[in-house]
Amino acid sequence: MARIIGGIATTHVPAIGKAIAENKQDDPYWRPFFKGFDFVHGWLARNRPDIAVVFYNDHGLNFFLDKLPTFAVGAAQTYRNEDEGWGIPVARSIAGDPAFSWHLINSLVADEFDITICQEMLVDHAVTVPMALMWPGQSWGGIRIVPVSINTVQHPLPSMARCLKLGRSIGNAIEAYQQDVRVLVVGTGGLSHQLDGTRAGFINKEFDQLCLNKIVNEPEHLTQYSTHDLVVKAGAQGVEFLNWMAMRGALPGHVVEMHRNYHIPISNTAAATVVLESRMEATQRAA
């Protein structure tokens, strides 16, 4: 049976990818953020995941405003990155696992999630930057991925509650998979940030800390915030926290925070990294 080893959530700011390419990890500006990954690297080395389910939001590389699904799941053999215009070098392709993807897709549809199925799928910095942070040198640790794209761009957006339920559905599907694989669940995106308009540069440290505290063992508390609330409190791009909610929903049992790093600012973004671990092999999730 498949087993969920835990979850990692982290920022995917394009400037991080540029800093990696320019070897700036020890620069004073960047060091507090990159040092937060020392624990992550050790944790991944100990737990050795085979597959990562990555909740992220596409920034126009794979989908655009004319066709933008609420939820899309990759079922490709390989996921390719292309030039996005941020000055980030194009990343190596990342292997997929179509059989595992189709298992998740069938389960999601059975749970009445109307998803878009992508048998070919590009992935942008929201996938490649976190992967490069977790596995420096783009070795990818031999891991296979299933990208799950959540719309955080074109309103109406899915709610916090809906994304939590999406994660729970995927978590249930993972635990029902018959092959013996170790699965990591990843949520990517900044915490509070706004990159445009009159509130450009907006960061809300108090709300970020609330989200970091509640997502561990009280994620339902966060579902009280509507999408509008999330924009007001976290900024127009802070809605990427929806990816974190889906990650958390996928984790079974009693969840323990193993590591947290919070640093501001990284390119006008509240940058955070957390590692969460489930302390039960299997459990009954809430509906």
Instruction: Please give the domain boundaries of the chain with CATH numbers for all domains.
Output: 3-278 (3.40.830.10)
Longest Cα separation, the chain: 51
Q: What is the DSSP string of 86-105?
A: SSPPPPPPEEB-HHHHHHHH
The pLDDT assigned to 138 comes to 82
Predicted confidence (pLDDT) per residue in 102-126, tens digit = 999 999 999 999 999 999 999 999 9
The pLDDT assigned to 62 comes to 92
> With contact defined as beta carbons under 8 Å apart, do 148 and 73 qualify?
yes
Q: Just list the catalytic residues.
A: 125, 193
The residue among 270 and 139 whose pLDDT is bigger is: 270
The pLDDT assigned to 280 comes to 66
> With contact defined as beta carbons under 8 Å apart, do 53 and 146 qualify?
yes
The answer, yes or no, to whether residue 282 has pLDDT greater than 70, is: no
User: From the centroid of its chain, how far is CA 146?
Assistant: 11
pTM to 2 decimal places? 0.95
Q: Where are the beta strands (DSSP E) in the chain?
A: 3-10, 51-56, 71-74, 78-79, 94-95, 116-118, 144-150, 182-188, 255-263, 271-278
- Structure tokens, 100: 């595992």
The residue among 245 and 139 whose pLDDT is bigger is: 245
Average pLDDT value for residue range 14-34: 95
- CA pair distance 184, 107, nearest whole angstrom: 18
**Three-state secondary structure call for residue 239:** helix
The answer, yes or no, to whether residue 56 has pLDDT greater than 80, is: yes
